[in-house]
Structure 1
């Protein structure tokens, strides 16, 4: 269902218009190829009538030269016409992938609602490719029409009945191929939808493989994927069957049509109405017509599949945003006061609490869904159904989402690591350059964490971010006055003075680096699978702390670490976040003991408020939640 966004037809048309220059040039070139192909049987007929029958060597050589030039021209046109068509298809598909990526990464979110991540990937790859091919099929269809017209005109010069037969018969043939393409379009849509769902399920299973093995749920997961895969297979087989019927039906129609043309030409030659050369030209033109008609069959199939894929792309592009665009910007200096005022959203029911500027606030939530709802409202992934979430007295629903996330960093419990070095997973890259072309002034994503620059030996300032590499043992300098490196023994040295180094120490990630052969330059596997759960948590927490955001909300950052390390991390968070607002959503006694104040949420509302010590001694439900 579209809500004011583009329809599948809009996506298809805009995709074609964006490549109109390449399509136009490609169309002219491949049309020239079809004209040359149509002229070949005509020239052969002329050679037979005017040269072979007279026995003139000069005439034969002259017309053979004309035939050679025609072959050279049609070969040249085909080569470069196909090149322009393929380039248009690839650029069109690439542009669609960019549009889909922008929509998925839009700060207002919403494109992922109701879709698995694998399904979105399938749409951005398979569906975008199918729509892109339409830009290559369009020049081919124009060339096919040109070939039919030139062939009909050539037949008219040979025989008026033959030319009229082609001119009046071709439209009925095209209408028949269009009807044959309708079932293919429907089944292609279903095929792509089932394939995308299967991809999404597979991606989820791979991501949660360790968990599935741990709880013994592998058989259930395998059975689920087998059912999904079988559904996708059946949809693919039905689409393949529809395509086979389509191609076979079109081939049968074109074969009957060409046979009819050849039969009429043969009868005319037998009656003496046309010469032997004309008969050869007519038969050759009839065989030539198989090419344009076959092209129509291919084009019709590609358009049917392209229309189905364009509809799926449009459903993502037209997905309503999860939150409003906002109209206000935050002040340059954020104090960090966070206030929930009568917030109702999901399991939250009139939730009200305040985090003072610079406060380290603990939040204990027994219901995981309520914890997720608090984080979504804080990060403006969703706006409350009623009530408001305020930052320094300004409702977040009125602020640009990117500006909110620049001031309020939400570190989810399941934060992902990326393939690359440990330090690349911690250092926050700073975007360079001006505002994005498609973002109005004041709405661009704001760089967080400040500029992070490194100073290599004798090389001057150098940007440090994702993609940076440093030699093993040499270490890299991050920030001002902080050096994080690994010596030959893999021991990490972190001297105070830089936010990244202090973040590594505060999160206990320096110990992780010290245990790795290459220290902070150790290459981590995708999603950090080469590390233990506790190691991954510490690196993810270091990344959140390194951002140095005015407001930081962290959800259960130490569930996979031992008690001693957890106590060290609690002290590290308190030290590095001193003077900045930090919200810890957790039930860890060690983390809660380090907070200034704890808010207890149950039933979607606050039921207790006080220090950790006060609540442990005076609130039975708190003791039951935290200490058991």
Structure 2
């Protein structure tokens, strides 16, 4: 399979129209979409010509008992069927390719935005981002089929109208003049579907997001006895989503029935007029057969064209959600001219305010371990987010060495200042992969494993360091995950390290060993520990209370 071209990040964020256009036309997909449309059009045109050829067989071969003419027209009919089958087959393959690569393009853009180190404000929960990257990206890209097949259906209607004009001008005019009002009426019926579709997708995404996040925290919820409450929350969201889906599907059924009724009534009029003209001798038997066949054929393309509004409604609803995610504002501002980090081995905060806190100062010098104690968990979480550059301070200044933190490129900053969150997030891979994630290839992680007491975890695992870790580390206990995450932070050996309650899931004996290990491995570097643990505070050079 050919590789997919990498798409450039959006600068100002795409509008819903740009999201839709990029999904089906970017990276050379526009030409493929045109090719698929030509193939589908060839299929529709050939299918429209089938009743015309059958009428010619009746008039020019069967009615005249001409065996040679019969053979010729059967050959024409065979070529026509071969062409319509092959054109559909290849057009469908090309359209599927456009759709799949278009969805992949959107998923990559969504992933790039979700992984942007400058964050999002307001924050999006992971389940919501996942729902947009899967169902909504697919719905936008599926507009490829809507556009190409509905365009082909319109060409099929035009071919049938021209054929009817050749057979009989009144019949042709009836189709040409009657088709636009029929299509307009179908589009009017489809308009409320867009609102239904968007509501359905929003409610479904909300339920899916909640389910994903509940499953990710299932162990914690069960441990604190909140499982029943979480289940009630999910049931409420799920029922809301089900109600929205049922309402949308109910309207979809009404819309389909209305389309069939409108198209059927129009075609009945065509067949009636054709029958009257045959009885009056205005057209031949073969031409009447062609008229009836064309009337039967027209039913499909007319309904297909009528569904264009529904397909566009669903694609636009999803494109709105994708666009809203991609245009979400950054939590922190990137510097216009980033400074190069040099000699960044200390941390200084002056008159910093986080989310309404009192202004405070903080200094962590090279080779110093500072403990910070606060009863305000929101302040502790906010400080970690602040130093990781996930949020901006309300006021105050922060320096890494001699550099203003907000003037440093965020990737470069995180190589010198690592603010490890309390949540022990692991990724799919091996234990070794998780521990060595922040180190250069070939760098030993043995010291970090010993300092974090992760050697005890490794000894208890079936394959040691090569044991596979499942998504979010759910195959491990909370204490095992916490020690592996701590080993990862220590293995990176950043000049400045911030730890937030790194030992809450281990026993007191193990905690004392970890405290001694941190003191040993960080003795030459600046370390800030946000904790209330006596064992960890005992190894600190200074303890600050906020």
Shorter-chain-normalised TM-score: which range? Answer: over 0.9
1:16 matched residue in structure 2? 24
- How far apart, CA to CA, are the structure 1 residues paired with 2:18 and 2:462? 54
Distance change in 2, residues 1:532/1:16 (3 Å): closer
Which of the residues 416, 441, 461 maps onto 1:516?
A: 461
1:489 matched residue in structure 2? none
C-alpha contact 1:212 1:218 (8 A) present in aligned 2: yes
1:416-435 alignment runs, 5 A limit: 416-428=425-437
1:38-53 alignment runs, 5 A limit: 38-53=48-63
1:260 matched residue in structure 2? 269
Q: What do residues 430-461 of structure 1 show as CA deviations (whole Å, max 9, x unaligned)? A: xxxxxxxxxxxxxxxxxx53x212xxxxxxxx
Following TM superposition, by how much is the alpha carbon of 1:114 offset from its aligned partner in structure 2, in angstroms? 4.6
Instruction: Tell me, yes or no, if structure 1 residue 110 matches structure 2 residue 104.
Output: no
1:5 matched residue in structure 2? 13
Which of the residues 566, 577, 585 maps onto 2:511?
A: 566
C-alpha contact 1:355 1:581 (8 A) present in aligned 2: yes
- How far apart, CA to CA, are the structure 2 residues paired with 1:168 and 1:395? 71
Instruction: Tell me, yes or no, if structure 1 residue 588 matches structure 2 residue 539.
Output: no
1:69-80 alignment runs, 5 A limit: 69-80=79-90
Instruction: Tell me, yes or no, if structure 1 residue 145 matches structure 2 residue 154.
Output: yes
C-alpha contact 1:322 1:381 (8 A) present in aligned 2: yes
C-alpha contact 1:140 1:299 (8 A) present in aligned 2: no
- How far apart, CA to CA, are the structure 2 residues paired with 1:389 and 1:169? 72
Distance change in 2, residues 1:190/1:114 (3 Å): farther
Which of the residues 575, 578, 586 maps onto 2:523?
A: 578
Q: What number of residue pairs does the alignment pair up?
A: 534
- How far apart, CA to CA, are the structure 2 residues paired with 1:207 and 1:385? 32
C-alpha contact 1:334 1:407 (8 A) present in aligned 2: no
C-alpha contact 1:348 1:373 (8 A) present in aligned 2: no
- How far apart, CA to CA, are the structure 2 residues paired with 1:330 and 1:357? 21
Following TM superposition, by how much is the alpha carbon of 1:131 offset from its aligned partner in structure 2, in angstroms? 0.5
Following TM superposition, by how much is the alpha carbon of 1:283 offset from its aligned partner in structure 2, in angstroms? 0.7
Q: Which has the higher contact order (CA 8 A, sep 6+)?
A: 2
- How far apart, CA to CA, are the structure 2 residues paired with 1:328 and 1:340? 22
- How far apart, CA to CA, are the structure 2 residues paired with 1:91 and 1:573? 48
Higher helix share: 2
1:62-461 alignment runs, 5 A limit: 62-110=72-120, 113-428=122-437, 448-449=438-439, 451-453=440-442
Following TM superposition, by how much is the alpha carbon of 1:330 offset from its aligned partner in structure 2, in angstroms? 4.5
Give the TM-score, by structure 2 length: 0.95
Q: What do residues 105-163 of structure 1 show as CA deviations (whole Å, max 9, x unaligned)? A: 1111106x353221111111111111011012111111011101111100000011111
1:550 matched residue in structure 2? 495
C-alpha contact 2:448 2:487 (8 A) present in aligned 1: yes
Give the TM-score, by structure 1 length: 0.82
- How far apart, CA to CA, are the structure 1 residues paired with 2:92 and 2:338? 50
C-alpha contact 2:341 2:412 (8 A) present in aligned 1: no
2:8 matched residue in structure 1? none
C-alpha contact 2:274 2:288 (8 A) present in aligned 1: yes
Give 3-state SS (helix, strand or coil) of 1:552's partner: strand
Higher deviation after alignment, 508-517 or 19-28: 508-517
Higher deviation after alignment, 574-583 or 268-277: 574-583
- How far apart, CA to CA, are the structure 2 residues paired with 1:336 and 1:519? 34
- How far apart, CA to CA, are the structure 2 residues paired with 1:279 and 1:66? 20
Higher deviation after alignment, 66-75 or 403-412: 403-412
Give 3-state SS (helix, strand or coil) of 1:340's partner: strand
Q: CA RMSD in A?
A: 1.6
Long gaps (5+) in structure 1:
429-447, 454-478, 480-497, 602-628
Long gaps (5+) in structure 2:
1-10
- How far apart, CA to CA, are the structure 2 residues paired with 1:566 and 1:371? 20
Q: What do residues 562-610 of structure 1 show as CA deviations (whole Å, max 9, x unaligned)? A: 2221121111112112222211111111111112222211xxxxxxxxx
C-alpha contact 1:192 1:309 (8 A) present in aligned 2: yes
Give 3-state SS (helix, strand or coil) of 2:307's partner: helix
